[in-house]
Amino acid sequence: MRERTFLWAIFILTVVFFSLLNIHNDFAIISQNTGNVVDSGFVDLTVNLETNDTINITSPADNGVEISATYNATYEVFLNATNDTAVTSWYYSLNDDLHGTLVYQNISFTPNTTFQAVRWQNTLTVIGVKNSTTNLTDSVTFNVSVVANTNPILSTLVDQEVCEGSKINYSYYAEDVDEHENTLTSIVNPSYDLSSSPFDIASMGVTDYNRTNFYIFSPTLTSSHVGNHTLNISVLDGDGGIDQQNVTVEVLGISSSSCSTPSSSDGDAGGGGGGGGAGGSCTEIWACGSWDECVNVEDALSFGILDEEGYNFAKELCVFEDYGEEICGYQTKICDDVNECNNDYVAKLQPDSFQACYFVEDPSCSDGVTNCHDGSCELLIDCGGPCNACATCSDGIQNQGEAGIDCGSPCAFSCDIEEPSDTSPFISKFLLVLGFKSPITFEKLIFGGIILSGLMILLLIIYWLLVYSRVKILLGKIHYKKNRRR
């Protein structure tokens, strides 16, 4: 009876052990908003190791995932891959196809890892390393789209006073937070005929992939327009989303005390913090691009890019920054007054458009310097801008010396000690009880399997010892009976 019990125990442990090592290959995309799951979509990711030394992602294949969420949601992806003993390590890279940026590059992972996808089109590349000379790779493109349309955002509008005979430059911004392909349109209603024609609404510049627009209208006001005019300014995204505000334009007669200055010029207003007012004042609204790539000061003088005055000014800035001759560089950026005030005396100073910089011959994402290249500027050393995103304490990745994912030094949050939950797999609970740290990786599962195998071997030894002892006792009894017969 005892032998049968041990045999059944060994059989059950064996079945449990091998079933626990079966890792499901799910690729789940979850939309979250301020930590709460709003909705989720799931697609299956299967990475198969082929016999001809290739790996193949059979699913998803250009798979769209529809998620109902607000525009500021995040999209977490759980990536599992078939674990084959021929593959010693796994890596993945993720590209944001819409914005043309590399989100992650060659991130080492084990099954049950989590990373954050981006909205719209993602290209995921999975790499399996067999040995020092053989890498197996495959890529797949999948789309994360949000079903719910979000209304565009119109900048805060301000009321305006302007004198008759002047032109009002009224500017405002609008943004399509959904980043849809269509360009925003704007309407001013009613379109008062302040300049013998409807308001002229023109896009003065489009940035952020045709999803952020700057608008301006410039009617010239006459005595017939003296009084208050209420305008409704609306912006539409083409998908049913709209944002609108009312703004009051008060046209003052030339005899008004506010307009009695000897000379009057155009007035202005800017959405979200404009200025100007009666009296014909015009306040500059400066818009600047990114800094250009750093140029060596000595080379710029040699090639005639800088004159003597500019050269001396740049050298002074380098001395202040403690840059030696070899690394002394300068860079510029273009700033424009979107109000086109053309004031003789500037009301609002233009931001600096010339500065010293640390010159590097071939700036890149691995030169150890925070610099500008490839059309944009890094946020920190070799990250942000044209480079991979900078490591933070909220990126969902264990990096920058963190003890866990976004916890432990240098982050402000300490890592919680994970306790086995009721929903944890048995082998994960078993390993956590033994003192293993979360997360339970494939290597830890293998080690746990070795421990379980050792326990099974121990049970087998005990079983055979019991069998041996019973056989020995039985043989002793037989021998005893034979001796008595004699």
Which residue carries 């020995």 as its tokens? 472
Question: What is the predicted pLDDT for the residue at 295?
Answer: 93
Q: Pick 306 or 231 by higher pLDDT.
A: 306
Listed range (22-31, 186-195, 428-437) with the worst mean pLDDT: 22-31
Listed range (17-21, 108-112, 198-202, 337-341) with the worst mean pLDDT: 198-202
Q: Pick 196 or 159 by higher pLDDT.
A: 159
pLDDT of 48 higher than 60: no
What are 182-197's pLDDT values in tens digits?
A: 456 666 654 443 322 2
Listed range (65-74, 246-255, 384-393) with the worst mean pLDDT: 65-74
What are 206-260's pLDDT values in tens digits?
A: 222 233 444 555 566 677 778 887 777 777 777 777 888 887 878 888 777 777 5
| For residues 299-310, average pLDDT | 88
Q: Pick 476 or 326 by higher pLDDT.
A: 326
| For residues 366-374, average pLDDT | 90
pLDDT band at 358 (very low <50, low <70, confident <90, very high): very high
pLDDT band at 398 (very low <50, low <70, confident <90, very high): confident
| For residues 128-155, average pLDDT | 71
Q: What is the C-alpha to C-alpha distance for residues 140 and 122, in angstroms, rounded to an integer?
A: 8
| For residues 154-178, average pLDDT | 71
What mean pLDDT, rounded, does the chain reach? 66
Question: What is the predicted pLDDT for the residue at 26?
Answer: 34
pLDDT of 283 higher than 50: yes
pTM for this model (two decimals): 0.37
Percent of the chain at pLDDT > 90 equals: 5
Question: What is the predicted pLDDT for the residue at 482?
Answer: 65
Listed range (247-251, 261-265, 303-307, 445-449) with the worst mean pLDDT: 261-265
Number of other CB atoms surrounding residue 45 within 10 Å: 24
Angle between helices 2-20 and 426-433 (to 10 degrees): 100
Q: Pick 229 or 21 by higher pLDDT.
A: 229
Percent of the chain at pLDDT > 70 equals: 50
Q: Pick 20 or 9 by higher pLDDT.
A: 9
Query: What is the token pair recorded at 257?
Result: 């005390």
Question: What is the predicted pLDDT for the residue at 40?
Answer: 35
Question: What is the predicted pLDDT for the residue at 136?
Answer: 72
Listed range (6-10, 331-335, 407-411) with the worst mean pLDDT: 6-10
pLDDT band at 28 (very low <50, low <70, confident <90, very high): very low
